[in-house]
Amino acid sequence: MLVAIYEDGGEAYLRPLTLTRPAYALRCGASLIYEKVLASVEGQFIFYVRGSLLDVAREKLGGVGEVRALSDVRTLDRGEDLLLINGRWLFDRDLLELEEGVAVKNGEPTYAFIRRRSIDAILRGCGSIIEALEKAGRELGEREVAEAKLVRYPWDLVRYNRLELERDLEVLRRLKQWDEPRGEGVYMVGDREDIMVSGSARIYPCVVLDSTQGPIIVDDDAVIFPHSYIAGPCYIGRGSWIVGGRISSSSIGPMCRVGGEVEETIFQGFSNKYHAGFVGHSYVGEWVNLGALTTTSDLKNDYSVVRAPAAGKLVDTGMIKVGTFIGDHTKTSIGSLLSTGSVIGIMCNLVTSGEPYPKYIPSFTWYIRGRVWDWITIDQMMEAAERMMARRGAVMSEAEKRLYRDLYDETREERGRFAESLLTGRRGLCAKS
């Protein structure tokens, strides 16, 4: 069977998290979205992606499967049955029925299964994956899958994270052999079978692992330092350090350094929150550094539903706890205060004036004490990013550099409007809650 994971126009509502990666490469639970498919379905994999991400995606995913542009639909006709999976679907094997047709959730395709005898007719005349899905729905029929979870906004990743953690940790439990924590002075609360530690991980004395609310996995080469409290469900990724504090119901991706208080939060990977400060109900991209005492607000004083920016509009999240969503390579200064339901773009540099930052800050913005520094070049920004990456032994590829240069140009007008709004006092979207 040929398995094709694609992204659709819905990725625009997930920005800035999807500016630098396909929607299916976002983390929810202990795994990236596409990893949930790989763990449950056998077949030959193709990843379909926007043209702007094609080169970067080939570097990241080329070892897992083919990477193709969304317009390259004829490559799907290989004389095999075809499974098309929406990259925003939090894949659930129990909901997958290999019955020809398109499965939808509230009118949005979740997946489609097409028998090899039908593929040529469905693909004929189609210029993209999206057109092929629309044609398959008309000719093969649609059926509603009400239980499917489609990620539409960044806060959906946080909304579903606890459930995905519990599902993913059960999968990980079966995939490899895990140990109990070793050494004196490690305190376990709850069922010991729900605390799973890699043999290469290290846990120091004066650590509490609490599985009463869900399982905990500490993955390969992770380190948990003294005076850390970990409450499940929780995943500590490969090579990450927990350097003290309270971490609860969170997903910490690979090679992070995390301390202080973290609640119901996802770290994509390779990011730092080393010091005191609270981050709750938030999503932190890659190569982010949160300065000491950086704190998110995730609850309004009047306990009302939070509205948050998405695709240029304020959207009612339907949630009373929503933190901050931070794009890759963004840095905050010490003492930074992040508003409830705020969104910070990629490669931003934020220095506090003592007041909370605006609710929305465009990508590549250097926001210094209430003003925009617009003389910082993209070359200077990338040099700073490369210095951070070097500390983890990583290098920014030429494809990534081209992507960041293109994104810098694409977001130039948005930054200009943001800077003008600060000067005129017309804060618009930035000021609303």
* pLDDT at res. 277: 95
CATH tag for 2-152 (out of 3.20.20.140, 3.40.50.720, 3.90.550.10, 3.40.630.30): 3.90.550.10
Q: What are the helix (H) ranges across 124-222?
A: 129-140, 154-159, 161-175
* pLDDT at res. 428: 47
Predicted confidence (pLDDT) at residue 304 exceeds the cutoff of 50: yes
Q: 309, 429 in Cβ contact below 8 A? A: yes
Q: What is the pLDDT of residues 129-152, one digit of tens each?
A: 888 998 998 988 999 998 999 999
* pLDDT at res. 124: 86
pLDDT band at 432 (very low <50, low <70, confident <90, very high): very low
Average pLDDT of the chain is: 91
Long-range contacts of 199-207 (CB under 8 A, 24+ apart): 201/236, 207/181
pTM of the entire structure? 0.93
Mean pLDDT in residue range 109-117: 92
Lookup: tokens for 144: 């509603």
For residue 150, the 8-state DSSP code is B
Distance (Å) of CA 246 to CA 210, 242, 264, 320: 11, 9, 11, 22
Predicted confidence (pLDDT) at residue 433 exceeds the cutoff of 70: no
* pLDDT at res. 419: 83
Q: What is the pLDDT of residues 187-217, one digit of tens each?
A: 999 888 899 999 999 999 999 999 999 999 9
* pLDDT at res. 430: 46
Any idea where the domains of the chain sit in the sequence?
Answer: 2-152, 156-431
Predicted confidence (pLDDT) at residue 431 exceeds the cutoff of 50: no
Mean pLDDT in residue range 86-92: 95
* pLDDT at res. 427: 53
Q: Which helix (H) or strand (E) holds 113?
A: strand 108-114
Within 13 Å, how many C-alpha atoms sit on residue 242's CB side?
Answer: 37
Predicted confidence (pLDDT) at residue 406 exceeds the cutoff of 50: yes
pLDDT above 90 covers a percentage of the chain that reads 70
* pLDDT at res. 73: 86
Q: 103, 145 in Cβ contact below 8 A? A: yes
The Cα 242–Cα 234 span in angstroms is 12
Mean pLDDT in residue range 355-360: 90
The Cα 166–Cα 132 span in angstroms is 34
CA 177 to chain centre: 27
Predicted confidence (pLDDT) at residue 423 exceeds the cutoff of 80: no
Looking at per-residue confidence, does 271 or 425 come out higher? 271
pLDDT band at 173 (very low <50, low <70, confident <90, very high): confident
Topology annotation, domain 156-431: UDP N-Acetylglucosamine Acyltransferase; domain 1 (2.160.10)
